[in-house]
Structure 1
Amino acid sequence: MGRPVFLGLLLALALALGQRLTAPEEVARSQVIKRALPAVVRIQGTAPAADGGTVGTGFFVSPLRVVTNYHVVQDLSDLTIRLYDGRTFPAERFAVDPGIDLALLTVKGVQAPAVLSFNRASPESLPLGMGLVLVGFPYGQGPLASSGILAGVGPLEVPTPDPSIGAEVGAYLFTDAPLTVGNSGSPLLNLQGQVMGVVADVVGGPSGVGGIGVAIPGELAAQSVEDLERFGIPQRGWLGASLVSLEELPPVLLRALGLTTTQGAMVDRVEPGSPAARAGLRGAQRDAQGRLLALGDVILAINGRPVKDKAEVVRQIARFRPGDRVRLTLWREGRRLEATLVMMARPRR
């Protein structure tokens, strides 16, 4: 047997063995990345401090629309998107949803090479440990891909630079997939190529280096995108009040007021004209230093379903639409009572 033939056989054998040794998850991951790359874009713009440049990531959800984070484009002008092949096109804000930190952009001069679709499973139903893929522009490089697992689902307990941005996300997705500056707005995909979440933040440093990636659930993002397309503002239910989980309050205080549970959420402040205000909900009393003097109404259940904490209240209320009537079970001044919320369209900001 001649040397070229022998080497050819060795190469064929190595390739065959390589294919057999490739795990199904690796094949699926590779295919997801290949399909997602044309849909993912780099978001650029000029900031007021004249330090413009690449600031984040986005992805096409329709031929002319790109989803990204609100905080990515909040203060930018002269927006552009760059495709995976290097071409650059102008873009503009179409509509924004600061409540969950989402923005929808219109791209000019090109149609999407590919689009991504959302998975609408509720966050609570997702299995921890499921495989996830991330595609974005960390530090402006890329598009680059990384992978990890769904590490958890729940509220974000750490302070953020602007608490009003993302305040209406009841439960986030957490992942150990490596991500960092520039990944905001990246799609977090399952191994079928569906968007499970939109990356919003990194807690504690770059993920994979002591940090945890945080993403807006796909179910919530999909609802927001539909609302922004149709109405220009989000239509999910809103309470119009800030909340404090009972578990955050001193147990001795709760017992003194006759509450024997830490399951529920206290109404802290009520926005004038909001559904909470119109339903007669009462906020807490605090002194000039912010110390609690008297409890506000405590929400124990929504439409008869007990709530665990403030995150669950936000999550349940978000599923209602303008015009819906929602029954709240409250604890006020030592007794149970009921109040009815009527969901209303949000004021434009």
Structure 2
Amino acid sequence: MPLPLLAFLLLALALAQRLVSPEEVARSQVIKRALPAVVRIHGTPLSAGEGDVVGTGFFVSPLRIVTNYHVVQDLTDLTVRLYDGRTFPAERFAVDPGIDLALLTVKGVQAPGVLSFSKAPTSSLPLGMGVVVVGFPYGQGPLASYGILSGIGPLEVPTPDPTIGAEVGEYLFTDAPLTVGNSGSPLLSLQGEVVGVMADVVGGPSGVGGIGVAVPAELALQSVQDLERFGIPQRGWLGASLVSLEELPPVLLRAVGLTTAQGAMVDRVEPGSPAARAGLRGASRDAQGRLLALGDVILAVNGTPVKDKVDVVRRIARYRPGDRVRLTLWREGRRLEVTLTLMARPRR
């Protein structure tokens, strides 16, 4: 082999070894495979005067795209733009506000790429594992960012709309840089599986003092399967509006013998719901809505103490329709236990 050619090959090999570690190779391959499946979502808000909204989604089947519910909640004229610039109309197929998820149907094209959800339990994901996010921050992209799985647990900070995502018991947290427009982006492992759906950034842009928040794949996959089959999610539903004890005047709690602010009061029971069938009692209020007497207070679900109304909803949502759940209640100055059979949340 001529010396100049040999020298060139050795230099190329040296550069490759210096610039491409095994982790960089895996990361690059994940991004390359994800790009055809990730789309930019665009729509016009229903409210006049608001600017157009842009988010991210990704194909999970030839015609279906997963994104966040809050991305498409109040949008019309939905379109999706593929990584190659082509744009196609889309429409909502089904939504799951409880975990902030929506399924879209795309018209006129089949997916140039499809991503698969990880089937691994959320609890098996190791902290510190490398993760990749591919999306459209500020509508630009698709762009990729990289970080680690920073933590798994409940979201403790308040959100703009507490009804969206209220049934997510545990989120995934990441330090991968994210910003506006990344909502609905896939959170990918270095094996190329979707381990989460990005939903929010807490405390500012992730990577700049903020934390990226994702719905775990285990929960998202269950929701997608339910939406495809039934059109609505099939998580457990109690059928009662709740008020956290910490929101109530302490004097009312003491009046019925409660010495704790941990728990949730049943405020209103929906007719025909699991709560109604189990005989749960709601609060008494006057014509102006002022509280006259406490309803049943939920202290524990299947023996596990609850902190507040959000905790109750999240624990109930871990079960499926038909499951039997035992509630520990405080009623008229004494503890008692009631077992109810859960139902699916009715279609609205």
Q: Does 2:52 align with 1:68? A: no
2:27 corresponds to 1:36 = no
Q: Is the 8 A contact 1:170 1:313 kept in 2?
A: no
d(CA) in 1 for partners of 2:69, 2:136: 17
118-127 or 79-88, which moves further after superposition?
118-127
The alpha-carbon distance between structure 1 residues 323 and 283, as it changes in their structure 2 partners (threshold 3 A), is: same
Q: Which amino acid aligns with 1:72?
A: V
State the one-letter code of the partner of 2:14.
A
> Secondary structure in 1 aligned to 2:199?
strand
Distance 2:123 2:241 in 1: 23
Instruction: For 2:10 and 2:112, locate their aligned partners in 1 and report how far apart those are by CA, in whole Å.
Output: 39
Contact 1:134 1:189 in 2 (8 A): yes
Structure 2 residue 21 is matched with structure 1 residue 8:
no
Structure 1 residue 16: deviation in Å?
Answer: 4.9
Give the TM-score, by structure 2 length: 0.85
User: Aligned equivalents of 2:175 and 2:290: distance in 1?
Assistant: 36
Q: Secondary structure at the match of 1:91?
A: strand
* One-letter identity of the residue aligned with 2:214: A
Alpha-carbon distance, 1:111 to partner: 0.9
Aligned to 1:27: 25
Asked whether the 8 Å contact 1:243–1:265 carries over to 2, the reply is no
Match of 1:135 in 2: 134
My pick for the range that moved more, 231-240 or 61-70, is 231-240
Aligned partner of residue 322 in structure 1, secondary structure: coil
What is the DSSP-based 3-state SS (H/G/I as helix, E as strand, rest coil) of the residue aligned with 2:237? coil
Displacement of 1:31: 1.7
Greater shift in the superposed pair: 73-82 or 311-320: 311-320
Residue-pair matches, total: 344
Query: In the alignment, is the contact (CA less than 8 A) between 1:203 and 1:213 conserved in 2?
Result: yes
Q: Report % sequence identity.
A: 76
C-alpha displacement of 1:57: 0.3
From the superposition, tell whether residues 161 and 271 of structure 1 become closer, same or farther in structure 2 (CA, over 3 Å).
farther
Residues 198-232 of structure 1, C-alpha deviation per residue, up to 9 Å, x if partnerless? 11111121111221111111111111111111111
Structure 2 stretches of 5 or more lacking a match? none
Partner Cα separation in structure 2 for residue 121 and residue 79 of structure 1 = 32
Paired position in structure 2 for 1:163: 162
Residues 46-92 of structure 1 deviation map (CA, whole Å, 9 limit, x = unaligned): 22336554510000011100011111111111111111111111111
Q: Is the contact between residue 285 and residue 296 of structure 1 (CA under 8 Å) also seen in structure 2?
A: no
| C-alpha distance in 2 between matches for 1:347 and 1:295 | 23
Offset of residue 326 of structure 1: 2.2
Aligned in 2, Cα 1:162/1:16: closer, same or farther, shift over 3 Å? closer
Mean Cα deviation higher: 128-137 or 63-72: 128-137
Q: TM-score, normalised by structure 1?
A: 0.85
Q: 1:301 to 1:346 in 2, by over 3 A?
A: closer
Q: Distance in 1 between matches of 2:255 and 2:209?
A: 41
Unpaired runs of at least 5, structure 1: none
Cα deviation for residue 253 of structure 1 reads 9.1
Task: Give CA-to-partner distance per residue, 1:241-300, whole Å, 9 cap, x none.
Answer: 3556778999999899766888x6323533422322332334567898989985741232
1:87 to 2:86 alignment: yes
CA, structure 1 residues 315+130, in 2 after alignment: closer, same or farther (shift >3 Å)? farther
Partner Cα separation in structure 2 for residue 338 and residue 248 of structure 1: 24
Q: Deviations over 1:84-129 (max 9, x none)?
A: 1111111111111112111100011111111111124443443322
Counterparts of 1:189 and 1:78, CA distance in 2: 29
For the aligned residue pairs, the C-alpha RMSD in angstroms reads 3.2
What residue identity is the alignment partner of 1:341?
L
Alignment of 1:168-317 (within 5 A): 168-243=167-242, 265-273=263-271, 274-283=273-282, 294=294, 296-302=296-302, 305-310=303-308, 313-317=312-316
Q: Which amino acid aligns with 2:34?
A: A
For the residues of structure 2 that align with 1:202 and 1:312, how far apart are their CA atoms?
21
Moved more, 56-65 or 170-179: 170-179
